[in-house]
Amino acid sequence: MGTFCSVIKFENLQELKRLCHWGPIIALGVIAICSTMAMIDSVLWYWPLHTTGGSVNFIMLINWTVMILYNYFNAMFVGPGFVPLGWKPENSQDTMYLQYCKVCQAYKAPRSHHCRKCNRCVMKMDHHCPWINNCCGYQNHASFTLFLLLAPLGCIHAAFIFVMTMYTQLYNRLSFGWNTVKIDMSAARRDPVPIVPFGLAAFAATLFALGLALGTTIAVGMLFFIQMKIILRNKTSIESWIEEKAKDRIQYYQLDEVFVFPYDMGSRWRNFKQVFTWSGVPEGDGLEWPIREGCHQYSLTIEQLKQKADKRVRSVRYKVIEDYSGACCPLNKGIKTFFTSPCTEEPRIQLQKGEFILATRGLRYWLYGDKILDDSFIEGVSRIRGWFPRNCVEKCPCDAETDQAPEGEKKNG
């Protein structure tokens, strides 16, 4: 009893508020619908008590559900890990390489960024995910990625059960006429009568669950591949954008230097082990990181400071070459743009040809930035901020790239 009470603390109970958000409600709703319908349909298609195959099938379904929920709640409630309030490096001279967060009253540790949703500096922040209503970062990156893997696998299994159930239930109910096909949805034709009757309502529910399972498989499966791609390079989405701006800065000034990402261990397996461990606890403490040979512990933060000092690379000016309606997943901007829409609560912004945008960060097919309403680049003018497709804009000439992004703006999606 004492152990139980030590686990359930006031702080843990406060975390339950994360469930009161549209993201977890939808995610858990999809899991509940697909799991429940798959178990019900398993009874109809492959009765688990009569055969070994049926028992294995049913146990696998329960196993998928348990593992999916375990990793989902781990990602949500364990959280990414936050930089301690008031944190500063042990060596006071190292503060010259770090940015200071006025909200947390602390220095930003290497690879950490301030999240406006969590209102804290997050260790190794990748993005703020609305589906878990929390950030994905140092402590929960492995659980989040495992959830992205297990959810499609479970949905593929469930989808197979849905298809087989509808096939077996409809097979004996079809009657073909000369010009007609009739389906008898009553259970009277089954001998013996099934424990769970498969009527019209059950058919509609199974069809709906099949659509959810297939949609989840595609959407979440693509997110899994995106996450694995950056994990095998030991990067985050934010760090990929920093690296892109570093290369742009070097090219623009024609500097005799090469930016080497300091946390890439040189092999995919070593990068993989930085996130996934047998103990479930990622390597390091979230404040200091192993670096590749020839790099500095603060190589990335030094590059960030250079970009902060260089107004030109802190934000890149783009001109809109194609109208964009502001749709979350635009079908007319290409299949890759449609399926890689940022998973975030941040808004999309409408674009009209000829307008100008200041991009502060981005993904491969999407950018995030500010639209200047009056076509001026004076500090403090009114702006509209949000995501927009990369293929709707083109980069302006370098000599026109001015202005700067607001201090402290970091990726939250």
> Which residues are catalytically annotated?
129
**At what angle are helices 141-171 and 52-73 packed, to 10 degrees?**
150
CB 298, CB 110: distance < 8 Å? yes
Strands 106-107 and 113-115 turn out to be: unpaired
Cis amide prior to 192 (ω within 30 degrees): yes
Amino acid (one-letter) located at 237 = S
Cα of 220 vs its chain's centroid, Å: 9
- What is d(CA 228, CA 232) in angstroms, rounded to the nearest whole number? 6
CB atoms under 10 Å from CB of 251, counted, come to: 10
The neighbouring-strand residues paired with 174 are 183
CB atoms under 10 Å from CB of 396, counted, come to: 16
- What is d(CA 124, CA 108) in angstroms, rounded to the nearest whole number? 10
Nearest one of 79, 85, 82 to 134, comparing CA atoms: 79
Nearest one of 45, 3, 331 to 162, comparing CA atoms: 45
> Quick one: DSSP state of residue 351?
B
Take residue 353 and report the two structure tokens written for it. 């040809």
Strands 134-136 and 181-183 turn out to be: unpaired
- What is d(CA 368, CA 358) in angstroms, rounded to the nearest whole number? 8
3-state helix, strand, coil in the chain (%, to 5): 45, 15, 40
Residue 233, helix vs strand vs coil: coil
CB atoms under 10 Å from CB of 169, counted, come to: 22
Nearest one of 33, 38, 57 to 165, comparing CA atoms: 38
Amino acid (one-letter) located at 325 = S
